[in-house]
Amino acid sequence: MPAAVVVKISGKHVNPDKPGMVKSYAEVLRRLHEEGYRLAVVVGGGPVARAYIAAAREAGANRALQDMLGIEAARLNARLLAAALHPDAYPEPPRSIWEALEAAATGRIVVAGGFQPGQSTAGVAALLAETLNADLLVLATTVDGVYTADPRRSPDAKLIPRLGYGELRSVLEQSVEPGRYELLDPLALSIVERSGIRVRVVNGSDPENVARAARGEEVGSLVAP
């Protein structure tokens, strides 16, 4: 059976302000699909989501409703990527694991955003990787991999080429600020750990890094049992 790979792409890379990047991601994903990889992609909400969440907060909306707006923004980004992938992508972003399974059964690329309030898109990606028995979860972030500290705030931060789940948990607890350094949140980490899913963290500013990771090349950081 062809390898199943789930890709989580930061909304900072796939959004309406970056049509060229959206096209580049579509080309990379289509190529992997043609090579036989079974793909599911989760897109973050990025700046669009943050703008809606901030406006909703200012208007007095509660946290659940703020989350719902962020989810819809992520789904719009997912629709944008799915449109660029047409006809190779399933046209409707799934709203649940069950819908994702139905979409994956068609053999087309599944492109999702968020699922429910209180759940990050990293959590969605981890759940999809577990449900689809994925061989690998690729996190296409805004940094080159996992560092000893947030590389944007700590000039002395060092890249960690390979680490275990416990080591990643320590990094998350000690040095990561929410929204600044995109990795797995604690829930997503617990999901990949319980199923032994390998996670490759790469810099998504170059979409080709996703292809390199899917093919097993040494790029970014590998989180594994």
Binding-site residues for UMP sit at 45, 67, 115-121
Interatomic CA distance for residues 4 and 13, integer angstroms = 22
Binding residues: 8-12, 45-46, 50, 67, 115-121, 141, 147, 150
Angstrom CA distances, 158 to 138, 147, 200, stand at 20, 5, 17
**Whole-angstrom Cα distance, residue 91 to residue 196?**
30
Mark the binding-site residues for ATP, compressed into ranges.
8-12, 46, 50, 141, 147, 150
Helices 63-85 and 19-34: crossing angle in degrees, nearest 10, is 60
Amino acid (one-letter) located at 112: A
Within a 13 Å sphere around the CA of 72, how many CA atoms are in the beta-carbon half? 9
CB 119 within 8 A of CB 110: no
Which residues, including other chains, have CB under 8 Å from residue 18's CB and lie 6 or more apart?
none
